Structure 1
Amino acid sequence: MQLDFFPSRTLTLYLAKLFVVRILAVLIMLVVVLLALDLLSETGDILAAPGNGQAEILRYASLRVPQLVSRFLPYSVLLATLITLVTLNQNSEVVAMKAAGLSAHQVLAPLLLTAAVIAGVSFGFNERIVTRANATIKAWQAAEYGPIPEVESGASSGVRSNIYLTDGDNILAASTLTGSGKDIVLTGVTWYARGPGGIIREQVRSARATYAAPGWRLENPVAFDVAGAVTQALPARVVGEALTPERIMLQSVDVDGQSFWELGESIAAYDAAGRNTDEMRAKWWHRLSGPLSALLMPLLGSIAAFGLARSGQLFVRAIIGMALGFAYFVVDNAALAMGSFGGYPPFLAAWAPFFLFLLVGETVLIRTEE
């Protein structure tokens, strides 16, 4: 028995089923509560847009659910681990398994296998669904929950939001970008003409801008002269002649809205242009290490599985397991932030917390139970 990593097939399926049911229950509870709170804060803004109603609220909810699932799945795995192991301990099932000759690692093996499957599903879910939801909801919010601009061909794919570009001392800002190359269309455009010292001399607003080769043609612009405090409508005007489509595409990369492979291509393009890629590389590596955090949770929460339930220390063990799990999330976020601005190498920022807490979990398990 000690040479087998997994217990019997029946016991493996029993433990895996318990674990999956509790993960789903905790995840649904968290998503429902957090979605309700989010809708309370956003419904007013959604309904403020002309023509919006219940359908738009449901659309917003459908975009937010994947984001909430992706963000709180690791927390759900941690809480489900503690609930499952505490229940097994209280019912003396862990004692029975150890009396049958199972080691602590064999008791946890079905949970680790289930967590590995969940990590794989989470990666695919993030790449296929969450990235698209991120890009869509950002573009929708940039349009103030109004109609999302469509590209010339009529498809609304490839929408990027909150574009901010510099042309010397001047600034070109746009709420959304659609299309690519010479077919780029900017909407909600503002051109800031600045003088020495960064002082704004003129502000020009336009609903739409297209590439004029060179520069960007503002359609029906309205200019505000800061010195004279005068607003006037202008004919079509070309601005930002140094801003090429290639430069705009580089500066408008939405890391959260790109898949793992698309982000890799963006990083390669940034490298070719001599741009800093630390932040993008850290998040690129985290696309792999993030879902794998589910694999750590049974290990970090395993302290709640062992020890006599009647000793009065089960609650303390559960608190320690929860503390270890949440400590991982704190360290992981801090390391990712450090890697984003160059404090850590991107690879180290993404993977160091995972391997650190893997060693911590193994050390605690071996020292206390093995």
Structure 2
Amino acid sequence: MQLDFFPSRTLTLYLAKLFVVRILAVLIMLVLVLLALDLLAATGDILAVPGNGQAEILHYASLRAPQLASRFLPYSVLLATLITLVTLNQNSEVVAMKAAGLSAHQVLAPLLLTAALVSGVSFGFNERIVTRANATLKAWEAAEYGAIPPKGAGPDGVRSNVYLTDGRNILSAATLTGAGENIMLTGVTWYERAASGIIREQIRAPRATFAAPGWKLENPERFDVAAATTALGSTLVVGKTLTPEQIDLQAVDPDSQSFWQLSETINAFEAAGRRTEEMRAKWWHRLSGPLSALLMPLLGSVAAFGLARSGQLFVRAIIGMALGFAYFVVDNAALAMGSFGGYPPFLAAWAPFFLFLLLGETVLIRTEE
């Protein structure tokens, strides 16, 4: 029995079923609670737009729910691990399994297999659903929950909160659609600054298109800061040194791109000599993030062993929870350091995973094997 990594087929299916049911129950509970709290904060802004109603609130919930599910799936796996193992320990099922000759790793094997499958599902869910929800929700928020501009020819559809520099001047747009010379900017603001950095003139326009060269603002409203006067016009061309290629590179949202699209974007940035550390760290984290679910049974395994009657079961559960949440803290800190260039992107994404993998194995071997 010790030579087989998995226990019997019946026991494997029994443990996997217990684990899956608890993962789904915890995930649904977390998503519903957090979505309800999020809706309390966002409903007022959504309904403030004329014409918005219950349909728009449900649309917001449909976009926000995948984000919450993706973010809190590893937490759900951790809590489900603790609930499953504590229940098995209290019912003396772990004692029975070890008395039958199973090692600690064999007891955990069905949970690890289930967590690996959850990691694969999480990766596919992020690529197919979450990235699209991110892009749509950010564009909708940029439009202040009003009508979203139609998608252009670009592969990424609508992008939001675009900021570009033309020397010391700044061009910002609420949304961007299209690609190349077909780019269309909406909610545009042009800031013309003096050599000292002080804004001399602010120009707002509902739309801007490529004028070859520059960007043509339609129906601009000019505000002279020094004179405090406003003037209206029909068209105005600004940012004559800004090319569509520069805008394509600067208007990138890594969270709204799939794994393969982000890989192509990184290659384009590197070819242009641009900084790619933040995107590279997020690219690696697209792989290490879903795999964090695989760590949770190992980090929470301390709750499975030890006699329930000893009075230390609660302490063991707290230790398992502390290890799991410590991983998320370290992972977020490392990713932030990688985004700012403090760590190499590969190290920022993978160091926490391997560190806590070794830590979990060490705790399990030293205490149970």
TM over 0.5: yes
After superposition, what is the alpha-carbon deviation per residue over 1:111-144, rounded to whole angstroms, capped at 9, x for unaligned? Answer: 0000000000000000000000000000000000
Aligned to 2:13: 13
- Secondary structure of 2:263's partner? helix
| Cα distance in 1 for residues equivalent to 2:3 and 2:228 | 83
SS in structure 2 at match of 1:198: coil
TM-superposed deviation, 1:14: 0.1
Query: SS in structure 1 opposite 2:231?
Result: strand
What residue in structure 2 maps to residue 169 of structure 1? 168
Match of 1:59 in 2: 59
Partner of 2:361 in structure 1? 362
Which SS does the other structure have where 2:196 is aligned?
helix
CA drift of 1:365 comes to: 0.3
Q: Which residue of 1 aligns with 2:23?
A: 23
Contact kept? 2:152, 2:179, Cα under 8 Å: no
SS in structure 2 opposite 1:165? Answer: strand
Q: Distance in 1 between matches of 2:131 and 2:151?
A: 19
Match of 2:237 in 1: 238
Secondary structure, aligned partner of 1:286? helix
Q: Match of 1:212?
A: 211
2-structure distance, mates of 1:160, 1:23 = 34
Specify the alignment match of 2:144 in structure 1: 144
Aligned partner letter, 1:75: Y
List alignment gaps of at least 5 residues for structure 2: none
The Cα shift of 1:152 comes to 5.5
Superimposed CA distance per residue, residues 264-291 of structure 1 (whole angstroms, 9 cap, x where no aligned partner): 0000000001011111000000000000
Checking the alignment, whether the CA contact within 8 Å between 1:123 and 1:287 is kept in structure 2 is yes
Partner of 1:335: 334
Task: Write out the 4+ residue segments of structure 1 that deviate beyond 2 Å after TM superposition.
Answer: none
User: 1:23-52, CA deviations, whole angstroms, 9 ceiling, x for partnerless residues?
Assistant: 000000000000000000000000011110
Partners of 1:341 and 1:151 in 2: CA distance: 32
Partner Cα separation in structure 2 for residue 28 and residue 356 of structure 1: 30
Write the letter of the residue equivalent to 2:279: M
Aligned CA distance change for structure 1 residues 31 and 152 (closer, same or farther; 3 Å): closer
By how many angstroms is 1:157 displaced? 6.1
Q: Is the 8 A contact 1:150 1:156 kept in 2?
A: no
Partner of 1:281: 280
The one-letter code sitting in structure 1 at the alignment partner of 2:114 is T
Is 1:348 the counterpart of 2:347 in the alignment?
yes
The CA distance in 2 between the partners of 1:157 and 1:344, in whole Å, is: 29
TM-score by length of 1: 0.99
Alignment of 1:264-303 (within 5 A): 264-303=263-302
In the alignment, is the contact (CA less than 8 A) between 2:295 and 2:356 conserved in 1?
yes
Which residue of 2 is the match for residue 189 of structure 1? 188
CA RMSD between the two structures? 1.0
For the pair 1:98 / 2:104, whether they are aligned, the reply is no
Partner Cα distance (2:10, 2:270) in 1: 52
Distance 1:314 1:152, change over 3 A: closer
Residues 317-332 of structure 1: pairs in structure 2 closer than 5 A? 317-332=316-331
Separation in 2, partners of 1:202, 1:292:
50
How far apart, in 2, do the equivalents of 1:352 and 1:267 lie? 21
Partners of 1:252 and 1:196 in 2: CA distance: 26
- Residue 88 (structure 2) pairs with residue 88 (structure 1): yes
Offset, 1:227: 1.1
Match of 1:110 in 2: 110
Q: How many residues align?
A: 369
Shift of 1:308: 0.3
Say if 1:156 and 1:178, in contact at 8 Å, map to a contact too. no
Q: Is the 8 A contact 2:23 2:80 kept in 1?
A: yes
Matched residue SS, 2:212: coil
Alignment TM-score, normalising by the size of structure 2: 0.99
* Aligned twin of 1:45: 45
| Cα separation, 2, equivalents of 1:358 and 1:247 | 42
Contact 2:156 2:257 in 1 (8 A): no
Cα distance in 1 for partners of 2:340, 2:196 equals 27
| C-alpha deviation, 1:87, in angstroms | 0.2
3-state SS of the aligned residue for 2:206? Answer: strand
Shift of 1:235: 2.3
Structure 2 distance, partners of 1:234, 1:193, is 17
Alignment partner of 2:66: what SS? helix
The residue type equivalent to 2:366 in the other structure is R
